[in-house]
Amino acid sequence: MPNNEIKLPNEEEQKLAPSITTPLSLPLIEKFPTSFPKPIMKHCYYLIVLTLCSLLQAQAQNRNYRQYATQEVMVRLEKENPNTLGAKSEMERFLAKDRFKYLAKQQVIPVAFHILYNPGTEYPSADEVLAQLNGLNRDFGEGDPVIKSERYGFQAGGFDKKLAKAQISFCLAEPPKDFKKDNSINFVPVTRKVWGLGDSLKAERTGGVAPWTPESILNIWVVKLGDDKAGYAQMPGGPLASDGIVIDYKYFGVNAKLSDRNYAEGKTLTHLVGTYLGLYELWNEYTPCADDYVDDTPVHNAPNYGVIFYQDITLCDRQTAEMTMNFMDNCDDEQLVMFTYGQKARMQAILSKDGPRSKLADGDTKCSKPKLSDPVAEAEDILALKTSEAEQQTVKVFPNPVRNLLNIEISSKLGQGQYRTILYDELGRIVFQNQGPHEGFRLLQVDCAKYPAGIYFLHVTVDGKRFNDKLLISQQ
């Protein structure tokens, strides 16, 4: 073939080209010179689509996607504890009959966090635990305000009409007296660097921490897991000695310094709490297209990853659009925004007086006020409020105690940058937050007169540096 001739796609190739899909629009063809022959333009379009698909595939292969281990762990538990399978069947019989009887009540779940850390290594701080707790209250309470706007097919698919507020909130548990702890953010130094998917981290004899009264407290272990697993949860009906949730450091926290920003909104734990409260993941690794026993969620053939633009059709028999924005799928955190009414009904029934987790929300276990008593970091964090490394950033807070206006003075020798401030009350709820750019200096003023008197916790981040302090608001 002469060098000046262009091989045009044959009839079969031209048929294939339009069937290749990509989430990116392709306005480039419109910018080609109009003098180009149409066959050449078609050929260019075909090459552009193939190139973009190749680039997207290469980018996907370079990402480490979140991998849950719940289904693997539950299969092991059912083999090791035959009663677990029977309890699961009994739970499904109860839910099939009575799951819609318990929709109206607001439930409060006490939580204990066990931070298993190696001294000298990085691990979540107490204020990051409180931020994660607030993330749970966001997702199980009023929800993410972003859902009000159209995003990823949330409204186009009609999924916004299925959105339900779960009416569940979370607080730090009052530690049981037998455990002689004054704080439910339990920092535990350990010698083991990486933990597997067994139950060794939940037993003192194997170097871990036993759960605190698991009938009435949600126990969450924050550790470094092996095999790049994000975490796993135990569904209702399993052994009490292992009951709770395990989550890896890398996926714990809200807007923390996580290694993967795609999972930095705290929704890994939201997903795991959903499982703990009786929700199945929308996919089944062992029986693809298995039902999750919820009427208003579509059947998924596999987990979804990254960001999925509407619509993604399941390969299962019904060929319906998948609910990729549901917390029980596995897209990036920015896409996950909802539970359905059917999922709410299951969780509320699980917590009801007749459900398998009835003691969890019956009010016998009280909520406690958080104490930022990280044994290693607390002293240096409070000191850091005055200065940070090489005095590049400083934060001054005054007056303290405060009655009316609180001044937060931010300075940075690095020039332009970003800051964020969060003020928590004693129950870990966010009462004030503000973020934005600074030009090397920024003065914020917070009207504290509208807040009840008491102890508050201030978290300030400047150019990635964290500052923490306790604040006393006085109305006298």
Diameter over CA atoms, the chain = 92
465 phi/psi in degrees, rounded to 5: -90, 135
C-beta of residue 384 within 8 angstroms of C-beta of residue 467: yes
C-beta of residue 367 within 8 angstroms of C-beta of residue 427: yes
In 3D, which of 471, 438, 431 has the Cα closest to residue 454?
A: 471
429 DSSP 8-state letter: -
User: Which of the two residues, 222 and 45, has the higher pLDDT score?
Assistant: 222
In 3D, which of 374, 123, 334 has the Cα closest to residue 248?
A: 123
CA distance 373 to 125: 9
C-beta of residue 166 within 8 angstroms of C-beta of residue 342: no
Contacts of 450 (CB under 8 A, 6+ apart): none
Question: What are the pLDDT digits (tens) for 247-256?
Answer: 999 999 886 5
Amino acid at 213: T
Query: Side-chain half-sphere of 194: how many Cα atoms within 13 Å?
Result: 7
**With the C-alpha atoms ordered 40, 45, 46, 47, is the resulting torsion angle positive or negative?**
positive
User: Which of the two residues, 255 and 235, has the higher pLDDT score?
Assistant: 235
Please tell me the predicted confidence (pLDDT) of residue 453.
87
C-beta of residue 186 within 8 angstroms of C-beta of residue 112: yes
H-helix or E-strand spanning residue 87:
helix 82-98
Please tell me the predicted confidence (pLDDT) of residue 227.
92
Average pLDDT over residues 249-275: 86
Which alpha helices (DSSP H) does 212-337 contain, by range? 267-276
CA distance 357 to 218: 10
CA distance 236 to 341: 20
CA distance 159 to 296: 9
Q: What is the number of other CB atoms lying within 10 angstroms of the CB of residue 284? A: 17
C-alpha pair distances (Å), 358 with each of 13, 101, 108, 245, 445: 61, 14, 12, 18, 44
Please tell me the predicted confidence (pLDDT) of residue 257.
56
Mean pLDDT over all residues of the chain? 80
CA distance 71 to 57: 27
Q: Is 207 helix (H, G, I), strand (E, B) or coil?
A: coil
**With the C-alpha atoms ordered 380, 385, 391, 392, is the resulting torsion angle positive or negative?**
positive
Q: What is the number of other CB atoms lying within 10 angstroms of the CB of residue 440? A: 13
Please tell me the predicted confidence (pLDDT) of residue 396.
87
Statement: residue 280 has pLDDT above 90: yes
Amino acid at 451: Y
Statement: residue 268 has pLDDT above 70: yes
Amino acid at 223: V
According to DSSP, the residues that pair with 339 across neighbouring strands are: 164
Question: What are the pLDDT digits (tens) for 357-402?
Answer: 999 988 788 888 665 444 434 333 333 343 334 457 788 888 888 8
In 3D, which of 294, 304, 358, 355 has the Cα closest to residue 329?
A: 304
C-beta of residue 219 within 8 angstroms of C-beta of residue 110: no
In 3D, which of 191, 201, 194, 198 has the Cα closest to residue 221?
A: 201
Where do the DSSP E strands lie in 129-217?
Answer: 163-164, 168-172, 185-189
Distance of CA 14 to the CA centre of its chain: 44
Please tell me the predicted confidence (pLDDT) of residue 371.
54
3-state secondary structure 275-311: HHCCCCCCCCCCCCCCCCCCCCCCCCCCCCCCCCCCC
Contacts of 280 (CB under 8 A, 6+ apart): 292, 293, 294, 328
Tell me the Ramachandran region of residue 258: left when phi exceeds 0, alpha when psi lies from -120 to 50, beta otherwise: beta
**pTM across the whole model:** 0.69
Question: What are the pLDDT digits (tens) for 290-342?
Answer: 999 999 999 899 999 998 877 778 888 767 888 998 999 999 998 898 999 99
Amino acid at 275: T
* pLDDT band with cut points at 50, 70 and 90 for residue 5: very low
Question: What are the pLDDT digits (tens) for 414-467?
Answer: 788 889 898 888 767 788 989 888 888 888 989 998 999 888 888 888 887 778
Where do the DSSP E strands lie in 85-203?
Answer: 107-117, 163-164, 168-172, 185-189
Average the pLDDT over each of 36-45, 68-77, 326-335 and give the range with the smallest value. Answer: 36-45
Contacts of 92 (CB under 8 A, 6+ apart): 293
168 DSSP 8-state letter: E
CA distance 451 to 433: 14
Where do the DSSP E strands lie in 29-86?
Answer: none
Question: What are the pLDDT digits (tens) for 102-156?
Answer: 776 789 999 999 999 988 788 888 888 988 998 999 999 866 555 544 555 666 6
Amino acid at 291: D
In 3D, which of 86, 71, 69, 68 has the Cα closest to residue 280?
A: 71
